Amino acid sequence: MSKTRTNIMVCGGTGCLASDSEKVAKNLELIIKARGYEEEAKVIQTGCFGFCEQGPIVKIEPDNVFYVRVGPKDAKDIVDEHIVKGRKVERLLYKEPHHNKKIGKQEDMEFYKKQLRIALRNCGLINPEDIYEYIALGGYEALGKALTQMSRDEVVKEVKESGLRGRGGGGFPTGVKWEITKSQESEVKFIICNADEGDPGAFMDRSILEGDPHSVIEAMAIGGYAIGADKGIVYIRAEYPLAISRLKTAIKQSRELGLLGKNIFDSDFSFDIDIKFGAGAFVCGEETALINSCEGKRGEPDFKPPFPAQEGYWGHPTNVNNVETFANIPPIITKGSEWFSSIGTEKSKGTKVFALAGKINNVGLVEVPMGTTLREIIFDIGGGIQGGKKFKAVQTGGPSGGVITEEYLDTPIDYDSLLSIGSMMGSGGMIVMDETDNMVNIAKFYLEFTMDEACGKCAAGRIGTKRLYEILNKITSGKATMADLDALKQLSYMVKGSSLCGLCQTAPNPIISTMKHFWDEYLAFIKDVDHSQGEGEYDGAKNKDNLMLKA
């Protein structure tokens, strides 16, 4: 950390950079220099603060003042008023929409109050391009502890007992995955970080890699040690240039300090990391497709088993974890599994990062303990619905999830509760819809996405998603009959049951859940329904075709 008295933290995440935060930082530096305050104040570009709606964000430490929507022209006021004169720039403070009060401190804001940051602990706090800042906040302590004080079994045990589950979507217990990979007899093993984030509107992994790349590097080394891999791969989409460049810088710095490479912490353990670029196909987030893509093959999934833990990268046992999963590992090792498992619900421990998007006031990245209700996320943290409109539904789990309606807003969210109400955790996309959104169109939007992103390998996914989309199109253009609704329903279950991989197995979920909750909106489009007689109700149990394929 800098020895200067004041640190001016300017968000350097992709969102704020797009709103000129780079220029904000440059102007701040120039003006500080012009005022002769270089010894006093230093400008630091950090990772994402999460409050993207209000970006670019500038935070002054140690004064703990949080400025929002800072433009390049505001740099002068920040320096002249705040740095030189020690007065807050009132007009740049955040105004809480509920009570119209200006708030200066981050922790007083509704957006941050209920958050608990574990995976995002360093985002917005450190300069991601300076390894010493990471180390100053306890970075690489976990790796040191694992390598010098813990056996491989103990590391696996710690992760297993923490109850950490995969944050990429499936929710498979991470410790169990490590244990399985560890138990494979093989000279060569790999650990892969899945940074192929692709859900529409989701950017948690990008933000972690941009804001705190070392947390992932450290965790991969810990994982490598635990399972017996000396080689790690980060599979990242080429559309994340900033994340890639920060990751590259971080890997270089870790190598220079011997935190990657031979005999780390003078132990017998050697480990290094390679980066592989994906071309941005959603399906490559599926681990077998990801591995095929890493090998230079077409990014398509393979039938499992064998699982990557048994036969993965070039046939060797391979452990694939998601970025956010990895980001949780170092604190688990340093603070212990007991601490981690004290957070969250019975079967879902820790926190989860969500990307809030759609018709919500506070668009951004939030991290909350498992068990927080949707209502808290949407109305307290998210600040409610834009323009004072009525909440209609929220889609979790991205294109693989389903819609959740008002009646379920008080469900404490975790992996299992979301499944039980017809959606899923997914990687953490959360898109809020208001009363003006038509749910058939929403379903169509998601189907268009999965149809375009389906790899084409299996017939159910390749042709099925196309036909689902076509039927939805027919419905929304007012040309469909009740028979089309039946066909849509039946095909949805077929694609769900018969597709090869998770992408298309879950692709019909938006249709199934919108049909369940918003049947009337489907009926409203149907031409052979006598609309004056009311719009009927969806009763899945009475439908024969439904029973035929429903699991």
Partner 1 sequence: MAKDIGKGETQEKYESKKMINIEINHEELTVTEGITVLEASQKIGVKIPTLCHLDLEDLQLYNKTASCRVCMVELIDKNNNSRLVPACVTKAYDGMVIRTDTIKAITARRMAVELLLSNHPNECFTCPKNLECELQALAEELNVREIRWEGERMDYPKDLSSDAIVKDSNKCIYCRRCETACNEVQTCGILSGIGRGFDSFVGPAFNIPMVESSCTYCGQCVQVCPTAALTEMFHTDKVWKAIDDPDKHVIVQTAPAIRVALGELFGMEAGTIVTGKMVTALKRMGFDGVFDTDFGADLTIMEEASELIYRLENNKTLPILTNCCPAWVKFIEHQFPELIHVPSTCKSPHIMFGTIAKTYYAEKNNIDPDNIVVVSIMPCIAKKAEAKRPELTKDERNNVDIVITTRELGAMIKEAGINFKSLPDSEFDRPLGETTGASVIFGTAGGVIEAAVRTAYEWITGDELENVEFEQLRGMDGLRKATVQIGEKELRIGIASGLGNARIILEEIREGKSEYDAIEIMACPGGCIGGGGQPYHHGNREIIRKRKDAIYEEDRNKKIRKCHENPEIIKLYKEFLGKPFGDKAHKLLHTHFEARERI
Residue ranges in contact with partner 1 by CB under 8 A? 281, 298, 300, 303, 305, 451-460, 462-467, 470, 487, 490-491, 494, 497-500, 548-549, 551
Q: How far is the CB of 493 from partner 1 (least distance, A)?
A: 9
Q: How far is the CB of 251 from partner 1 (least distance, A)?
A: 31
Nearest of 370, 411, 312 to residue 164 by alpha carbon: 370
Q: Residue 110 or residue 453: which is nearer to partner 1 going by CB?
A: 453
Residues with Cβ within 8 Å of 545's Cβ and at least 6 positions away in sequence, in order, are: 486, 489, 490, 493
Q: How far is the CB of 451 from partner 1 (least distance, A)?
A: 6
Residues with Cβ within 8 Å of 34's Cβ and at least 6 positions away in sequence, in order, are: none
In the beta sheet, which residues pair with residue 65? 60
Q: Residue 254 or residue 465: which is nearer to partner 1 going by CB?
A: 465
Burial class (CB in 10 A: 0-12, 13-18, 19+), 90: exposed
Q: What is the DSSP string of 365-414?
A: EEEEETT-BHHIIIIIIS-SBGGGPPEEEEEESGGGS-EEEGGGTTSBP-
What is the 8-class DSSP label of residue 4? S
What is the distance, to the nearest Å, from the Cα of residue 96 to the centroid of all Cα atoms in its chain? 26
Q: Residue 294 or residue 327: which is nearer to partner 1 going by CB?
A: 294
Q: How far is the CB of 166 from partner 1 (least distance, A)?
A: 20
Q: How far apart are CA 147 and CA 542, in angstroms?
A: 59
Sign, Cα dihedral of 481, 486, 487, 489: positive
Q: How far is the CB of 540 from partner 1 (least distance, A)?
A: 15
Q: Residue 469 or residue 525: which is nearer to partner 1 going by CB?
A: 469
Q: How far is the CB of 189 from partner 1 (least distance, A)?
A: 21
Q: Is 30 helix (H, G, I), strand (E, B) or coil?
A: helix
Q: How far is the CB of 237 from partner 1 (least distance, A)?
A: 15
Q: Residue 161 or residue 470: which is nearer to partner 1 going by CB?
A: 470
Q: Residue 346 or residue 452: which is nearer to partner 1 going by CB?
A: 452
Q: How far is the CB of 549 from partner 1 (least distance, A)?
A: 6
Q: What is the DSSP string of 128-159?
A: TT-HHHHHHTTTTHHHHHHHHH--HHHHHHHH
Q: Residue 261 or residue 456: which is nearer to partner 1 going by CB?
A: 456
Q: How far is the CB of 302 from partner 1 (least distance, A)?
A: 8
Rounded to the nearest 10 degrees, what angle do helices 465-476 and 482-498 cross at? 160
Q: How far is the CB of 310 from partner 1 (least distance, A)?
A: 12
Nearest of 3, 78, 89, 16 to residue 46 by alpha carbon: 16
Nearest of 514, 533, 513, 535 to residue 524 by alpha carbon: 535
Q: Residue 25 or residue 424: which is nearer to partner 1 going by CB?
A: 424
HSE-up (13 A, CA, CB side) for residue 456: 4
Q: How far is the CB of 448 from partner 1 (least distance, A)?
A: 11
Q: Residue 429 or residue 464: which is nearer to partner 1 going by CB?
A: 464
Q: How far is the CB of 10 from partner 1 (least distance, A)?
A: 39
Q: Residue 117 or residue 496: which is nearer to partner 1 going by CB?
A: 496
Q: Residue 117 or residue 457: which is nearer to partner 1 going by CB?
A: 457
Q: In what order do the strands lie in the sheet with 231-237?
A: 272-278, 231-237, 190-195, 318-322
Nearest of 204, 225, 243, 233 to residue 115 by alpha carbon: 204
Q: Residue 272 or residue 416: which is nearer to partner 1 going by CB?
A: 416
Cis amide prior to 369 (ω within 30 degrees): no
Q: How far is the CB of 476 from partner 1 (least distance, A)?
A: 15
Q: How far is the CB of 192 from partner 1 (least distance, A)?
A: 22
* Interior angle at CA 318, CA 316 and CA 320, nearest 5: 160
Q: Residue 214 or residue 457: which is nearer to partner 1 going by CB?
A: 457
Q: Residue 136 or residue 548: which is nearer to partner 1 going by CB?
A: 548
Q: How far apart are CA 212 and CA 528, in angstroms?
A: 56
Q: How far apart are CA 114 and CA 379, in angstroms?
A: 11
Q: How far apart are CA 429 and CA 288, in angstroms?
A: 22
* Interior angle at CA 374, CA 371 and CA 375, nearest 5: 120
Other CB atoms closer than 10 Å to residue 130's CB: what's the count? 18
